[in-house]
Amino acid sequence: MTLTELRYIVALARERHFGRAAEKCFVSQPTLSVAVKKLEDELGVALFERGGSEVSVTPVGRRIVEQAQRVLEEATTIKHMAEQGKDELAGPLRFGAIYTIGPYLMPQLIPLLHKRSPRMPLLIQENYTVRLAELLKTGELDVVALSLPFAEPGIVTQAVYDEPFRVLMPADHPWARKSRIPATDLCRENLLLLSTGNCFREQVLQTCAGVERATNDSMQQSLEGSSLETIRQMVASGVGITVLPSAAAEGRTIDTRLTAVRPFASPVPSRRVALAWRRSFPRPRAIEVVRQAILACKLAGVTLLPNATSLPAG
Amino acid sequence: MTLTELRYIVALARERHFGRAAEKCFVSQPTLSVAVKKLEDELGVALFERGGSEVSVTPVGRRIVEQAQRVLEEATTIKHMAEQGKDELAGPLRFGAIYTIGPYLMPQLIPLLHKRSPRMPLLIQENYTVRLAELLKTGELDVVALSLPFAEPGIVTQAVYDEPFRVLMPADHPWARKSRIPATDLCRENLLLLSTGNCFREQVLQTCAGVERATNDSMQQSLEGSSLETIRQMVASGVGITVLPSAAAEGRTIDTRLTAVRPFASPVPSRRVALAWRRSFPRPRAIEVVRQAILACKLAGVTLLPNATSLPAG
DNA sequence: TAAAAATACTCCATAGGTATTTTAT
DNA sequence: ATAAAATACCTATGGAGTATTTTTA
């Protein structure tokens, strides 16, 4: 049985004439004749009654032709579905971000993307890098914004911007008088950090104080799952100081009287933020649109990398 | 788009593995691979995401695969319909008979056929020969029982039995003392006939009295649409005599005290009853079953023609 | 390195065309 | 005699196979 054969019998049932039905199908009369006969043989039943100049449909034929129409209709909706799905910028994009990017990027990214690509709603999820990697590989997420380095088989990454770190301290902290803070000074302070699992925690530890510092009991261990915003509140209340990505440190004017933000002295520690997606993800244009939108976001202190090339991670 | 291709993508969506999906479809891996790619090209959209050892279905792909399943299901019901329709003895048979056969044949034929071929109900219709011929040609009837001669293009007939005519008269009619009636005697009697349009009327006129007799005003013209049964009542009430087919004349014991039936003297006038159907009618076995059932009916006085061959009428 | 999908190629079934015959009116 | 469908025959597309290469984890 062939969709073509079904088209033929539907046309023949309509026209009740092999020649005209063949015309309607843009084939020759013998072609249609043979195809109809072939289908009848295959089904083992006569669909049409050929009587001289009269072609009529048998009772079984009528039912089968109706069913054939149904099949053809269902088949054409496949084409419609494909037509709709053709547009890479149509349909939801499942977007993930790590905790230290999401809250500062999404408020700008979402409205911008909604404006630029209104038919592509973002489905957002924040999580740890490792979890995002899982979701990405299992196809539960399409694109992830995270911090390099990131290496997973089958995943490609593309750097989007570099983001310097900043020191956040109580407004009355002695360092507030300095314009730049040397990274090595941090080890003497009570440094508030995110809970384990956040890659930013490790980056701060590595960059500013060396990993061995992490075992020092004098350093404040913040509670599991707490966010940068919680830590900011703690700094404001004078518990200690912390390090934030620039986009998190600035751009929030809530408590400028309680806290002070200072840049690091050179060499300025920073992180490289990138997008990651499956190499095989079939909507590259959707990703490019997201990347351009992120580049257009006003993120305090970041250095854009508009020409970065995507790299196979792993 | 091909039904085969749809089967392939459904299998691939299930197996998430080209090799295994190919096995399930009993084709080689490259065959399935190429076919899927071809469909994707045709639809212009990626249905699957090939990631190394991971094959996943895209969102569009998921919808299309579901739709493909629907198409395939609808297509298999075509096969089921054909399977049901294969049995020529299943499904209703639209049966027509002329007024002078139906009332005497059907009461026997229907229960017999119901017993022999229970899945083939008869849809009965009585009418004039000309009307039955129309219905037969337009496909509104499948088989017709009528009286020969009958010639229509595209219609074949097969004689089933010969039926002698009988004379029906009031019980106190002088002829009731005769055992056989010469046909030529009829012209002197008040002969009750069916209305114009009934072929039996013409047969009686031709056989018994010559056509010119029809114009004789002394002959009783019965009312349009009246039946043999009405005429029988008229005979019983002494209005005149009539001629009946043997199956109509005998086999009814209602009023033996009021009427007498007598055979004709040799040569005995008779009619040949036949089945007629479109040459192209696709259920010859159904017709044969009907013919055999008629042959098995107990019809008074008839001579069965069990070996008559079907003839192209016209 | 191993597994899996894609490619290259070959072959054959068949869908389709043209020309002709058969059939039925 | 005419119109229509069936048949015969040919061609070419493409579906399916095997062998091989490419890719990626």
Nearest nt to the B31 alpha carbon by C1': D16
Average pLDDT estimate for B93-97: 95
Specify which residue's alpha carbon is closest to the C1' of nucleotide D17: B28
CB neighbourhood size of A138 (10 A): 11
pLDDT at B73 over 50: yes
What is the interface size between A and B, counted as CB pairs within 8 Å? 116
Compare all CA atoms of chain B with the CA of A67 and give the residue at the minimum distance.
B78
Task: Judge whether residue B38 contacts strand D, using its CB and a 7 Å cut-off.
Answer: yes
Q: How far is the CA of B117 from the C1' of D10 (A)?
A: 48
pTM: 0.79
CB contact under 8 A, B85 and A77: no
pLDDT tens per residue, range B230-273? 888 888 888 888 899 999 888 665 567 788 899 998 889 999 99
CA of B25 to C1' of D14 (A): 19
Rounded Cα gap, residues B284 and B158, in angstroms: 12
Residue B115 has pLDDT above 90, yes or no: yes
A190-249 residues near strand D (Cβ < 7 Å) = none
Residue of A nearest to B283 (CA): A46
Which of chain A's residues 32-61 bind strand D, using a 7 Å CB cutoff?
33-34, 36-37, 50, 53, 55
Is the pLDDT confidence value at B208 over 70? no
Q: Which of residues 7-36 of B touch strand D (CB under 7 A)?
A: 26-28, 30-31, 34-35
Query: Closest partner residue to A49 among B79, B84, B281, by Cβ?
Result: B281
pLDDT value for B213: 47
Q: Which of A67, A83, A282 sits opposite B46 (nearest CB)?
A: A282
Least confident range of A106-120, B181-195, B276-290 = B181-195
Q: Mean of the per-residue pLDDT values for chain B?
A: 86
Q: What is the pLDDT of residue B220?
A: 52
